[in-house]
Amino acid sequence: MLMRIRPKTDLRTLIALLAITSIVITLANTLYATWRVQRMVLIESTLEANRAYATKLAATTEVFFQLAQSQLHYSATQLGKDFDNPELAQQEVNRLREQTNSFNSVAVVDTNGIVKAISPESLMLKGMQLTSQASREALAQRQPMVSKPTISAANNLIVFVSWPIWSNEGRYLGYVGGTIYLKKKSILNALLGEQFYRDGTRVYVLDRNNQVLYHQNSQLIGKTAPEIVSERQRNESTNGEVQVKEEDTPKLAGYAIVPTTGWMVVALKPTDVTLQPLSGLLLKVLKNSVPFALLTLLMAVIFARLIALPLWQLARKASQMDTQGVSGEISGIRAWYFEAAQVKRALLTGIGLVQDKIGRLKSEVQTDPMTNLLNRRGLSAVLDYFETMRQPFAVLALDIDHFKRVNDNFGHDVGDEVIKQVARTLRNSARQTDVVCRNGGEEFLMLLPATSTEEARVIAERVRSSIAESWIDHVGHITLSVGIAHWEADNQPQDVSLKQADAALYQAKNAGRNCVMIAGQDALVSSITR
């Protein structure tokens, strides 16, 4: 039959394992906390950077539209002075398109929507009536405006910026307007497309209906994009930041609104691109932490050995407590901290008690065979132990009143039963630390460690009352007389206290029995119950 061998686990191993576990957990927690904090910092800084970037582009776009409207305003003023001059009209549209490069095309349109002049002339729209939504809105509103994205007469997706033309007399003459192509090369594309980060950030522009007006992927222009910011958020703040999912990929977005047009500029960066530096950062943290962790581990192993050594030595000697001279070997062990010193002291005390006293306390020689209480020999061993430990105690001397009458009237067998009944009552009344002895015949002793005289009186009175109230077959009620004394270490010999308790017992007898007397007191402590 194979025996299963269980590995021995000593304190040094346990301390070392605890230290290793603590170091590993601490290192893992440090890495995790670093990862969490850095992840949050990277995300927050990217969101803020995208918000600031989108705000910058929105401000740039706003400035562009204001400049474009200012240019149109100037031309409208000049045209209002001589609206019927075709050369002036053509000169202005050419200047607007070529001088600033703000517009892809520029046109002057009268109140009937007829194109009076256009640049470039290759569009061949001169003399034609414009019926686009942007043209009709410009004629109807008669005020500066930036149209919604619309399809032009040349079938281009455009934004139309216009300014009304008024005569010197205040008569509405038409408007001058410039188009900005959204799908072709334009100054708007240049403004938005040339300013982008090279770290994965992308920019696009949406109108109020989430139609894409600008995107680095021109195939997406004119299409409807998923909603990033609600209408309520647009109205509450002109810029902000949000985490979104685009094509099932988490992204960090910053947005800003262009006031003139209501367009929204969005700067977007994939979250995984933002978090790419994390792995390198964690590796650096790990490289810097491992040497200190190894040094801490080495120190933990050394201290584990220093801490465990005294307890290990004491544990080995504890298994040899019955060996001759083991006390001297234990005394030579260097217990350099409090717990080891206490264990050492307890072992030395225990060895003395085991070798000199405890064995006799448990032997049959120290036990009264009738009552199973300690006899005189056991009492002597306990007293020696109390003296060694400097343990103060109260002593109760107890004697059954008129016991001779019980033997004479009912026989010795009944007398033995009375003694056994009294012994059981005393044992049940005693506390766990109390010692109950049969001193001989009908006399008993109770040793109450760490008990004051007053506490001993209360206990004695309880025992006396229990005996007096108990019913014993054939005999009926019996009573006890009790004497109390107290012993303090370095105060007086133990036998003096025992004699004082015995003298108090006889004082109780003389006072009428069934009472409790305290040594050195003349008064009767408990009322006599006869």
Express each pLDDT in 476-518 by its tens digit: 899 999 999 999 977 789 999 999 999 999 999 999 999 999 9
Average model confidence (pLDDT) across the chain: 83
The secondary structure of residue 365, as a DSSP letter, is: G
Give the span between the Cα atoms of 422 and 467, in whole angstroms: 7
| pLDDT (0 to 100) of residue 526 | 45
| pLDDT (0 to 100) of residue 528 | 39
Confidence of residue 121 (pLDDT cuts 50, 70, 90): confident
Among 14, 11, 18, smallest CA distance to 311 is for 11
The answer to whether residue 171 scores a pLDDT higher than 50 is yes
| pLDDT (0 to 100) of residue 261 | 83
124 to 115, 118, 179, 351: CA distances (angstroms): 10, 8, 15, 120
Structure-model confidence comparison of residues 196 and 268, the more confident one: 268
| pLDDT (0 to 100) of residue 357 | 54
Average pLDDT over residues 272-286: 79
CB contact at 8 A, 269 and 252:
yes
State the burial class of residue 165 (Cβ atoms within 10 Å of its Cβ: 0-12, 13-18, 19+). Answer: buried
Structure-model confidence comparison of residues 448 and 212, the more confident one: 448
Average pLDDT over residues 371-387: 89
CB contact at 8 A, 65 and 178:
no
Give the span between the Cα atoms of 484 and 494, in whole angstroms: 13
The answer to whether residue 176 scores a pLDDT higher than 90 is yes
**Predicted model pTM:** 0.53
| pLDDT (0 to 100) of residue 436 | 94
Give the span between the Cα atoms of 312 and 171, in whole angstroms: 110
CB contact at 8 A, 406 and 475:
yes
Look at 31-35, 54-58, 322-326 and tell me which has the smallest mean pLDDT.
Answer: 322-326
Give the span between the Cα atoms of 413 and 310, in whole angstroms: 58
Phi-psi label, residue 282: left if phi above 0, alpha if psi -120 to 50, beta otherwise: alpha
Question: Which structure tokens are listed for 490?
Answer: 């370095």
Confidence of residue 99 (pLDDT cuts 50, 70, 90): confident
The 10s digit of each residue's pLDDT in 108-119 is: 999 999 999 999
Instruction: Kindly state the helix (H) or strand (E) to which residue 518 belongs, with its residue range.
Output: strand 516-518
Among 152, 81, 87, 145, smallest CA distance to 116 is for 87
Confidence of residue 100 (pLDDT cuts 50, 70, 90): confident
The 10s digit of each residue's pLDDT in 425-435 is: 999 988 888 99
Give residue 522's identity as a one-letter amino acid code: D
Question: Which structure tokens are listed for 286?
Answer: 């790990």
CB contact at 8 A, 370 and 419:
yes
Confidence of residue 394 (pLDDT cuts 50, 70, 90): very high
Q: What angle do CA 170, 174, 179 make, to 5 degrees?
A: 135
- The DSSP annotation for 427-465 comes to HHHS-TT-EEEEEETTEEEEEEET--HHHHHHHHHHHHH
Question: Which structure tokens are listed for 179?
Answer: 């188009």
Question: Which structure tokens are listed for 351?
Answer: 């060895």
Tokens 């234990």, residue located: 330
Altogether, the residues listed in the chain come to a count of: 530
Structure-model confidence comparison of residues 363 and 11, the more confident one: 11
Look at 52-56, 236-240, 269-273, 279-283 and tell me which has the smallest mean pLDDT.
Answer: 279-283
Helices (H), strands (E): how many in the chain?
A: 15, 16
Average pLDDT over residues 77-90: 91
Look at 123-137, 491-505, 515-529 and tell me which has the smallest mean pLDDT.
Answer: 515-529
| pLDDT (0 to 100) of residue 524 | 46
Pairing of β 435-440 and β 443-449: antiparallel
383 to 358, 394, 471, 498: CA distances (angstroms): 12, 12, 33, 11
Structure-model confidence comparison of residues 187 and 86, the more confident one: 86
CB contact at 8 A, 44 and 175:
no
